[in-house]
Structure 1
Amino acid sequence: MSTNTSFENNFNYSQYNLNTSVLVDLYKNMLLSRLIEEKMLILLRQGKISKWFSGIGQESISVGVTMALNLEEYILPMHRNLGVFTTRHIPLYRLFCQWQGKASGFTKGRDRSFHFGTQDYKIVGMISHLGPQLGVANGIALASKLNNKHQVTAVFTGEGGTSEGDFHEALNIASVWQLPVLFCIENNGYGLSTPASEQYNCEHIADKALGYGMEAHIIDGNNIIEVYSKVSEIAKNIRENPRPVLLEFKTFRMRGHEEASGTKYVPQDLMDFWAKKDPVINFQAYLREHHILSEGEEVKIKADIIHEINDHLDKAYAEDEILPDLINELNDVYKPFKYQEFKANGGFKEIRFIDAVSESLRQSMEQHSDLVIMGQDIAEYGGVFKITEGFVELFGKERVRNTPICESGIVEAAMGLSIAGIKSVVEMQFADFVSSGFNPIVNYLAKSHYRWNQEADVVIRMPCGAGVGAGPFHSQTNEAWFTKTPGLKVVYPAFPYDAKGLLATSINDPNPVLFFEHKALYRNIRQNVPTDYYTLPLGKASLLKEGNDISIVAFGAAVHWAIEVLDTNNHINADLIDLRTLQPLDTETIFSSAKKTGKVIILQEDSLFGGIASDISSLIMENCFEYLDAPVKRVASLETPIPFASQLENQYLSKSRFEKELIELLEY
């Protein structure tokens, strides 16, 4: 059997009626990806790039899907999808600079490989945790649906990624909300060295779609014509009839997970079988056999591509190495935000803490006409605390969205909304439940602006705190999980006035904000609050009482505990600082007070070790040591989970020990 005949038997290309120019473009795009990869493997061996995840043998999926989509439609690729980037015509020297850690790349040397995105080319790169990008695609598709853009979003993962919880959350959300997402699963046989048979126990990944009421298709991932034609047809239909579709591309990874891994764990007969299904060689043979591409044209195309690669490599090599700049590094963690003060012009009304949060949300929904709020039971039910009661009638279910119980998937969807230019607020039903959405918060939202200049315009509301007999899973005040994560802002008000103004500012801020709301304050603290919309600056503490004997630093419910103690000890002349925001932290007010009084006590509700009081104490010791007349004192709750029974909870809380510790420090 001749070589060409064996190629022809591998794939049926002729059943699809594509014009010659499309066929040649498909070939050129696949060949460009292949030749770049071959060059990168040489450079890797020469030590000129640090790592490479090869997509050799899978080019038709990246190229076919990308060519099937419109240029304004987002694609979320993986680390083996070079063809997505090249088919979108990103200048090659910029890709080469990215892989060499140079400034003309997309991450300023801060991340490697394909861990980047670019709004210019509507590409959103992966993070190493794989799964979150599936949920991010949902958010982008939701924005398209809300804005009636009739666009498709395509997102890639491998068969290994389908084992992650994010995969199941993303499919469920997309199906419930009928989002126009193409979930592209590259089933290439192995997750690193683990075979597909140890990843899932069904015949096809496509079978999983049935459980989510989702349409699915199995596509020969090595047949470029089948990929392009079927994806084009499905995408066209989805634009008019929005819904998610799962596409399982059967393919194979011809090289290791990354080059250092090798392929010794793969049986040789399997390698031989898939080598005969090489998408580039087979398609090239088909084009030549059908006189669509002559030998001379083929040689010229290869020569032109090699010349382009070398020219762009020379340009990348010629660029200077990045010089570390401390100011640039620090300034790029957050998107610059110029605070705009809105002053209330109307009257005042005495309202509860919970009413202040609700008013701020409602007025922010009016201020930002496309703001979306999402959370469990927040629509008709109004949320478990009734903060969003009546919002559906005011703003509709498109903007006030009940979510499935899937914290990770909803945080990811919020990130996708931000990529598409829409603000969102996510309610964690209880702050404790944020642990189920921890990864996308600390690894996606927090790092996106620093990595590739993409803001995460998301506020996550965190009903928190003990004192209400809710036990270990509904009582945590877990701000320390996030204050140590660069890229996140953390706000923690103690009064209705602050809650309303700070929430409005948090929503205006394009950076991710964790907004803590203490449940014990919701219906117990009242205050006169402006009825109009207004804002308060982040990073500015409130000096509630002034004195010369001692400085008390607190936030949240602990502020009220401190007030109670001072009210029953009128002889204590203290500065009482309500931090209001923990990140950014108002160190100027803290240091000024510490230098004035010479004694500082920090009261927090969280347990002691690793809490923010520890960092504040260290900052004071490092910056105000010569002014101190005593060691800085921290008062915190017990090093146990939070108990349910009231007598145990009272013993647990730092409130019960604060007065004694305060008096001891005064007497030092």
Structure 2
Amino acid sequence: MRSNNTSVAKTIFNRKDYSDKTLIKLYKAILKPRLIEEKMLILLRQGKISKWFSGIGQEAISVGLANALNANEYILPMHRNLGVFTSRNIPLHKLFSQWQGKKNGFTNGRDRSFHFGTQDYNIIGMISHLGPQLGVANGIALANLLTNNHKVTAVFSGDGATSEGDFHEALNVAAVWSLPVLFCIENNGYGLSTPSRQQFKCEHIADKAIGYGMESLIVDGNNILEVHTKIKKISKSIRKNPRPILIEFKTFRMRGHEEASGNKYVPKEILENWALKDPVENYHAFLKNEGILSEELDVLIKEAIVLEINEHLKVAFNEKEITSTVENELETVYKHINYIECKPASEKTSNIRFVDAISKGLEQSMEKFQDLVLMGQDIAEYGGVFKVSEGFLNKFGKERVRNTPICESAIIEAAYGLSINGYKSVVELQFSDFISSGFNPVVNLLAKSHYRWGQQASVVLRMPCGGNVGAGPFHSQTNEAWFTKTPGLKVVYPAFPYDAKGLLNTAIEDPNPVLFFEHKALYRSIYQDVPNDYYTIPFGKACVIKEGFDLSIITYGIGVHWALDEINKHQFSVDIIDLRTLQPLDTDAIFYSVKKTGKVLIIQEDTLFGGIASDISALISENCFQYLDAPIKRIGSIETPIPFAKNLEKLYLPIERLHSAIVDLLNY
């Protein structure tokens, strides 16, 4: 039976071994979100809340599942899962404050409605892109599996979101890794106004599980006893035998996707038929018919809930409108850390390549942090395409060194889930170009997490990047500017083995998301004496590679080596500043050098327009204009995709334009 058909079966309740007390408890639990919603719809019409996503008609799913799981097990709900929040006994005034954008909510006014999470109640909120939370649930479940704590993770999504690639990626990863996840799909007939028959061709969403080698079942989502009974049974099973299960809850959304959209697109007969399956009214009638719920008790229950709602609304309405300062908002984008630099324990060094420094830093971090997990394509037996993790599998085991399917988005989401559940992770992107397949979770989950609801994202994304290796348009980009623009991300781009090892260790220690760029052309061409022991290097501290008085060259990554080669050939008197980190940026070092020399050349490998050089140029103009003796000069690659053929790549890159740019500035 398709959920948007006109034929709807009668609800049959089977109390089995349920006591009267438990049945009444479930009644109170399902009634509460319904009464809250009815009040919210009134407040919406009065303009006292800004938006509402109604779950009327679907309460049995949220309430049944939340009451079936243990309180210490994570649930990842969506817009229409108010019953999850109320079943976890979150104080109503905090929910009301959240919906009004006030301080006592969960996001300090920075996000609305159900876009929040709370570790206090083991609830992880959604983002509007819907699908990513399926992958986040995988990460939480993986942490449970690694800890061997026998916990279940439940994640909600709708029928519309099953059309997203994240759905496929998440289910595939969960199946391959045997993760204890309940993928709970509420098939309510429509994705906004698009009916299910235009979303998928199979008869049931549950049918999709077979493609992943996964169990599935269909549950009457309007029958609270069926939901509660089946979830308890399934959860007990997968706590003992970890594995994912796809659950399709057949239900219906009786109101609009959100109140402003209405539901005029739904045929009248469908609404009328599903109204007969109302989960609250039918359960109420069942309890009365069985003699379990008297009229007097029913009145008392409703009065108590209404009183609670009104009292907590009063608290929320009396709360002042939220205010803040620029300083406070900026301070909360990242999780604050009291960084203490770690020096090498001995003076012993080895002359190693850039790639070896990365590998050694990663290995020593794995030894230091037992909760650190490595994930990526081909990183286990094969050792990664650049052999950075060669030998790690034998040393650290398959639980911590994890080959992944080809699915950047789901793995980055899982990394975030690991962080939520107390683990660190490093994800290797085979090439930085491939981050485009996982762009959404980087810029919308990792970057915004701490600012939105105070949740750290202790994730490092390793980004082998860069040209001058003849790898063509899909394996040669240096795409750091995609991320320096996004508040909440840290961006690191070392040029030398010593910095690569120390900065990677710092990145792994940092509880904030870090994109760690590693230029492929430097991997096996640059050697340096590097301490054998573990050490860290602070972020936001540039390194002055050479000192002079006539010109400041500001650059990073392979640009540092281009500048060094040019200066060593011609013995120009210049400052060469290796930025090392692009976010945070060491503006003090930049401004000091510019004020000394009065002339500036900024080098980047990336195409010029919209790159980091443009922002550095603007910062210098705004803060050091009076010290300049010449226009600021930027050089970068030409405005085309990076080509494959050697001569075309040579034309693309800025190397041969560097000498004339220096001479022009010195002669200005």
Check whether TM > 0.5: yes
Alignment of 1:58-77 (within 5 A): 58-77=58-77
Residues in 1 aligned to 2:626 and 2:236: alpha-carbon distance in whole angstroms: 71
Once the 2 structures are TM-superposed, how far is the Cα of residue 167 of structure 1 from its aligned partner? Answer: 0.4
Secondary structure at 2:99's aligned position in 1?
helix
| DSSP-derived class of the 2:610 partner | coil
Looking at structure 1, the residues matched to 603 and 324 of structure 2 have their Cα atoms a distance apart, in angstroms, of: 39
2 CA distance for matches of 1:366 and 1:485? 32
Query: Counterparts of 1:492 and 1:440 in 2: how far apart (Å)?
Result: 21
1:549 maps to 2:564: no
Deviations 1:606-628 (A, max 9, x none): 00000000000000000000000
Distance 2:12 2:527 in 1: 73
Aligned AA for 1:664? D
- Whole-angstrom CA distance in 2 between matches of 1:271 and 1:87: 27
Whether the 8 Å CA contact 1:357–1:500 is kept in 2: the answer is yes
For residues 283 and 15 of structure 1, the distance between their equivalents in structure 2, rounded to whole angstroms, comes to: 11
Query: Which runs of structure 2 are paired with 1:374-389 in the superposition (5 Å)?
Result: 374-389=375-390
Q: What SS does the corresponding residue of 2:155 show, helix, strand or coil?
A: strand
How do 1:495-506 residues align onto structure 2 when only pairs under 5 Å count?
495-506=496-507
Q: Which amino acid aligns with 1:183?
A: F
**AA paired with 1:277?**
K
What is the deviation of 1:13? 1.0
- Map of 1:648 onto structure 2: 648
1:474 partnered with 2:475 = yes
What is the deviation of 1:388? 0.1
Q: Structure 2: how far apart are the matches of 1:558 and 1:66? A: 54
TM-score (norm 1): 0.98
**Aligned residue in 1 for 2:517:** 516
Contact 1:352/1:523 (<8 A) preserved: yes
Structure 1: how far apart are the matches of 2:442 and 2:473?
22
1:575-586 to 2 correspondence within 5 Å? 575-586=575-586
Partner of 2:352: 351
Between the aligned partners of 2:626 and 2:589, the Cα distance in structure 1 is: 17
Deviates more, 1:12-21 or 1:256-265: 12-21
| More displaced stretch, 97-106 vs 332-341 | 332-341
Task: State the distance in 2 between where 1:586 and 1:14 align.
Answer: 67
Q: What's the RMSD between the two structures over aligned residues?
A: 0.8
1:287-316 Cα shifts (integer Å, max 9, x gaps)? 011011101000110000000000000000
The CA deviation at 1:327 is 1.7
Q: Normalised by the size of structure 2, how large is the TM-score?
A: 0.98
Match of 1:436 in 2: 437
Asked if the contact 1:60/1:227 (under 8 Å) is kept, the reply is yes
Distance 1:16 1:336 in 2: 52
Equivalent-residue separation in structure 1 for 2:24 and 2:657 (angstroms): 77
Structure 1: 5+ residue stretches without partners:
1-7
Does the CA-based 8 Å contact 2:13-2:225 persist in structure 1? yes
1:568 match: secondary structure? helix
Residue 397 of structure 2 is aligned to residue 399 of structure 1: no
> Partners in 2 of 1:586 and 1:233 — Cα distance?
56
Query: What is the distance in 2 between the residues matched to 1:287 and 1:421?
Result: 43
State whether residues 16 and 225 of structure 1, in contact with CA within 8 Å, keep that contact through their aligned partners in structure 2: no
1:5 is matched with none
Matched, 1:630 2:630: yes
2-structure distance, mates of 1:243, 1:291? 40
Q: Secondary structure of 2:357's partner?
A: helix
Aligned to 1:620: 620
Aligned equivalents of 2:662, 2:21: Cα separation in 1:
80
Q: Does 1:569 align with 2:570?
A: yes
State yes or no: 1:417 paired with 2:408: no
Local SS of the residue matching 1:636: strand
Q: Distance in 2 between matches of 1:659 and 1:242?
A: 62
Whole-angstrom CA distance in 2 between matches of 1:455 and 1:594: 36
How many Å separate the matches in 2 of 1:233 and 1:12? 19
CA distance in 1 between partners of 2:240 and 2:24 (Å) = 29
Cα deviation for residue 464 of structure 1 reads 0.2
1 CA distance for matches of 2:93 and 2:178?
A: 39
SS in 1 for 2:156: strand
Match of 1:29 in 2: 29
C-alpha distance after superposition, 1:340-374 (max 9, x if no partner): 21111230110000000000000000010120000
Deviations 1:225-260 (A, max 9, x none): 000000110001010000000000000000000000
Alignment of 1:35-114 (within 5 A): 35-114=35-114
Cα offsets for 1:265-301 (capped at 9, x unmatched): 0000000000000000000000011011101000110
Query: 1:323 matched to which residue of 2?
Result: 323
Q: Deviations over 1:26-57 (max 9, x none)?
A: 11111000000000000000000000000000
In structure 1, the residue matched to 2:117 is 117
**Contact preservation (8 Å) 1:16, 1:229:** no
Could you give the per-residue CA deviations for residues 456-483 of structure 1, whole angstroms, max 9, x where no partner exists? 0000000000011000000000000000
Describe the SS at the equivalent of 1:201.
coil
Give the match's secondary structure for 1:327. Answer: helix
Amino acid of the structure 2 residue aligned with 1:367: K
How far, CA to CA, are the matches of 1:484 and 1:340 in structure 2?
27
Q: Which amino acid aligns with 2:542?
A: A
1:15 to partner: Cα distance:
5.5
* 2:160 corresponds to: 160
Task: Tell me which stretches of 4 or more aligned residues in structure 1 moved more than 4 Å.
Answer: none
